[in-house]
Amino acid sequence: MKRRYTDKQIIASIQRARGLVYLAAQGIGCDPATIHHRAQKNPKIREAIEIERGRVLDFAEAKLLEAVHGGEAWAVCFLLKTQAKSRGYVERSEIKQESRVVVLSDPEELSDAELAAIARGRSKPTSK
C-alpha cells in the first residue's frame, strides 16, 4: 500500500530541509520524485520550495557581504565580477577571427592565378 503524504507534511519537510527536495523527501520517507510531482500540481508546495531556496540565497549573499566588509580579497573580486559588470569589472577573452568569403556564380570563369590566390587564402592574385 502506497503511503499518502499531506501537503502540510511535505511543506514542513521542505522548510526543515531549507528547500532541498532530496533531503525533504528523506525527512518524510518518500521518493524525491513524489515531492517534484506534487510541486508541479500544487502551487503551495512549489512556493514553499521557492521561498526556502530564496532564504538560502539571501543567507549566502549576507555571508558574502560580511566577507566583503571584512576586506576578504576573494569576496571583493567575486562581487565585482558578478555584480559590477556595468562598471567594467568583467573578465573576458577577446577572440579575433578573420575570414573571407568568395561568392562565385561560375568557378569556371576564374583564372589560374585567381584560383591559386584563393587556395593561398587571398581574394586577389599577388602581382609580381
pLDDT at 98: 79
Q: Per-residue confidence of the chain (128 residues) as pLDDT tens digits?
A: 678 899 999 999 999 999 999 999 999 999 999 999 999 999 999 999 999 999 999 999 999 999 999 999 999 999 999 999 888 888 776 677 877 766 666 777 788 888 888 788 766 666 65
pLDDT at 74: 95
pLDDT at 103: 65
pLDDT at 70: 97
pLDDT at 109: 79
User: What distance in Å separates the CA atoms of residue 88 and residue 13, rounded to the nearest whole number?
Assistant: 43
Cell triple for 47: 512556493
Number of alpha carbons in the 13 Å side-chain half-sphere of residue 46: 7
CB-based burial, 24-44: b 16+ in 10 Å, e otherwise: bbebbebeeebbeebbeeeee
User: DSSP label at 107?
Assistant: G
